[in-house]
Chains A and B, each alone.
Chain A
Amino acid sequence: MSLVIQNLHARVVGGQEILRGLNLEIEKGRVHAIMGPNGSGKSTLSKIIAGHPDYEVTSGEVLLDGTNILPLSPDARARAGLFLAFQYPVEIPGVSNANFIRAARQARLAEGEELDAVDYYGELYKEMDSLEIPRSFTARSVNEGFSGGEKKRNEVLQMAMLQPSYAILDETDSGLDIDALKIVAAGVNAQRSSNVGMLVITHYQRLLDYITPDVVHVLVGGRIVRTAGPELAHELESKGYDWIREDLAESASA
């Protein structure tokens, strides 16, 4: 059981190619991290897997437990078990957080089946409490007026409520102070289990001190250029991305 990305080539619709033959396999129960310089295509990769309409896949496949999800709509992919925690969570004016998450839960039920409101709120409050999100946030419009940290916690809350089998977390650490980072990381760690595979995208190694990955990949120029254990993150931290680029240039000219 895994999320497999095979030789993925993708571009902005009618525009520039961003992913250039990307390969990755995220097994259930494991945490993979992707690191890479700004603009290397990390967010694009996550959005393409989730089905963002700005991008088109020119070749390759994304297999979720063996099924190619590329022909599916974004919502069908999510219901198939995929979750994306956005780098920039979107504000939805006038729609309360509780109703939004509820609609997402309802979408997973069979036609005619109704969500049990009492159970739902019980579960929602429990998850909010552990993420230290005030309960008043149920009535607030989705992400509207939330601070950076509140938005990220809200993403983790949604992940907890939707129980995906594969979760991609795009820079869930960016914009967080150390306390917020610890809360978010604890929330993510609480969801680590043999039932879920995670892809943690980050620019900095700091997050990986709190969410220890099994595997670390480096994404440069739309391709995975290096894969190793957690020590790779520390190496990148001390040497910077230029080290990888230089390394790549050398091996290319060799």
Chain B
Amino acid sequence: MRALKPAPPFFMTDSLLQDAPSAAALPEWFTKAKASATSAFEALPMPTRRDEFWRFSNLKALDPQDFTPARPVASEVCEELLASSSGIKASAGRLVFANDQLLARNTDAELAKTGVLWMPLSEALHSHSELLSRYFMRTESVLGSAKFQALHRSSVKEGSFLYVPKGVSVSAPLEAFHWLAGSGQAVFPHTIIVAEEGSSVTMVDWFKSASEARNMACGVNDLHVGAGAEVRYVCIQDWSRQTVSLHANATTVAERGSATHLGLHLGGLFSRIESLSRLNGAGARSDMLAATVADSAQEFDQRTLQDHRSPETYSDLLYKNALYDQAKTIVSGLIRVEPQAHKTDAFQKVRNLILSPDAEANSLPGLEILADDVRCSHGATTGEIDAEELFYMQSRGIPARDAYRLITFGFLNEVLERFPDQTVRERLQETLRARLHGH
């Protein structure tokens, strides 16, 4: 194991290079891109609120802080984290990471026989370098976080690699846990899913903190949905309330493929969440879902793009935010329909439930329709708990506070209900219920 000498702040990028595990053994394409990402990170300016993609953002939260790349976690703590990694009851495989280091892994024996690859990124870089190189961070950042994606690219060392061969259907979900321990540390979790033609898979990512300490996470997802393939992905962001989190998702869908991306956003102090769905082939579909519980001084800054590049594509976005206390949310959603993407359906709905007079919800919809014969709609609403719903519940004996919680649960549960996998849905509901407990 490396000596644990305290590393300088991550914004001093030298330390990131030093930190890479046995850099010599990594494939050349990876280290080359890493080096150029390091320069890109240094060259790119910090975003300002004048940037279109950072309007209303609280950039203070992103001021360079003394975060260092996360150090390995002591073995007693690892034991505890493993014990707390309770996700889906019957998963087809799981990976558990703490501070970007693998703690545990398993794969259903039957699954391995189907040719599905399910392994930590660090291993895939060696064993499936060529395959990985074709998909790894191939989608450029278009939603404002180019600098932070460069940081991720320059610092990433661990994550999940899931490859589903042509025609293979994985029925039980796969899941990964990313723990963040210590304080003043930064992790760079990565998830890459490649679903080949006609395949089908569900994956769940958990992001959790070992303590309430202030840390940083800068993660990236690559979801590649092949022709006629189906990918259902959930991210449960449950970092500590002191964590600064940046997470960028890029989904690309080939013809007739279908992606469902659901974010359950619960934790973090400041969370920047970018999600791009690129519909590359005719008949491709993407469902973009998010349910956010924001309380205390939490901020969730969500930016999305539904990018229709082929005819007869379909996208449907539903983002819901429940805001307590002084919490703040932003949903800035752009629909872009390229000239050739005729007969496209693109929908976008943002719903905010305000539970405190001090909370602030911002919705910034945008449309860029360059094709004819397109069905598009977008709408954002902001409201409070409906008085008649409250009275109805109370008239059954349910105390007002419980009624508020139940109605809020229902409001967000409408998003969870859209997720096709029942086991996962029930686990999400349980997690949401636990998060609302005490409100």
Q: A residues within 8 Å of B by Cβ?
A: 50-53, 73-75, 77-79, 83-84, 86, 89-95, 99-101, 103-104, 107-108, 141, 158, 162
Contact = CB atoms under 8 A, between A and B. Distances in A.
B135 interface: no
**In this complex, which of A77, A89, A99 has the most chain B Cβ atoms within 10 angstroms of its Cβ?**
A99
A92 B394 contact: no
Interface stretch (B35-43, B226-234, B270-278, B395-403): B395-403
A156 to B, nearest CB: 13
B387 A53 contact: yes
30 contacts: A50-B395, A51-B394, A53-B391, A73-B394, A73-B399, A74-B391, A75-B394, A75-B395, A75-B396, A75-B397, A75-B398, A75-B400, A77-B395, A78-B397, A92-B389, A92-B393, A92-B406, A92-B407, A94-B410, A94-B412, A95-B409, A95-B410, A95-B413, A103-B396, A107-B396, A107-B397, A108-B397, A141-B410, A162-B396, A162-B397
A103 B391 CA distance: 14
Report, nearest first, the 7 A-B pairs whose CB atoms are least far apart: A94-B410, A95-B410, A78-B397, A94-B413, A74-B394, A90-B392, A104-B396
Contacts of B413: 94-95
A94 B414 CA distance: 5
B407 to A, nearest CB: 7
Contacts of B406: 92, 95, 99-100, 103
Given A90-B388, A94-B417, A95-B406, A78 B412 contact: no
A95 B397 CA distance: 16
B411 interface: yes
Chain A interface helix/strand/loop/mixed:
mixed
Given A74-B394, A75-B395, A92-B406, 17 more contacts: A75-B394, A75-B398, A78-B394, A79-B397, A83-B395, A92-B393, A93-B410, A94-B409, A95-B413, A101-B396, A103-B393, A103-B406, A104-B393, A104-B396, A104-B398, A107-B397, A107-B402
Contacts of B409: 94-95
B421 to A, nearest CB: 16
A95 B409 CA distance: 7
Q: Is the interface of B mostly helix, strand, loop or mixed?
A: helix
Nearest to B416: A94
A94 B411 contact: yes
A36 to B, nearest CB: 22
A153 to B, nearest CB: 16
B293 to A, nearest CB: 14
Contacts of A52: 391
Nearest to B396: A104
A162 B399 CA distance: 15
A100 B395 CA distance: 12
Nearest to B399: A75
Contacts of A89: 392
A197 to B, nearest CB: 17
A191 B394 CA distance: 22
A103 B410 contact: no
Contacts of A95: 406-407, 409-410, 413
B307 to A, nearest CB: 29
Contacts of B403: 75
Contacts of A103: 393, 396, 398, 402, 406
Contacts of A53: 387, 391
A104 B392 contact: no
A73 B394 CA distance: 8
A117 to B, nearest CB: 14
Contacts of B396: 75, 78, 100-101, 103-104, 107, 158, 162
B210 to A, nearest CB: 30
B414 A78 contact: no
A141 B389 CA distance: 13
B398 to A, nearest CB: 5
A90 B407 CA distance: 12
Nearest to B401: A75
B399 A107 contact: yes
B353 to A, nearest CB: 11
Contacts of B407: 92, 95
A53 B409 CA distance: 23
Contacts of A101: 396
A93 B403 CA distance: 13
A91 B409 CA distance: 14
A52 B394 CA distance: 10
Contacts of A99: 406
A162 B410 CA distance: 22
A193 B398 CA distance: 25
Contacts of B398: 75, 103-104, 107
B370 to A, nearest CB: 35
B390 to A, nearest CB: 9
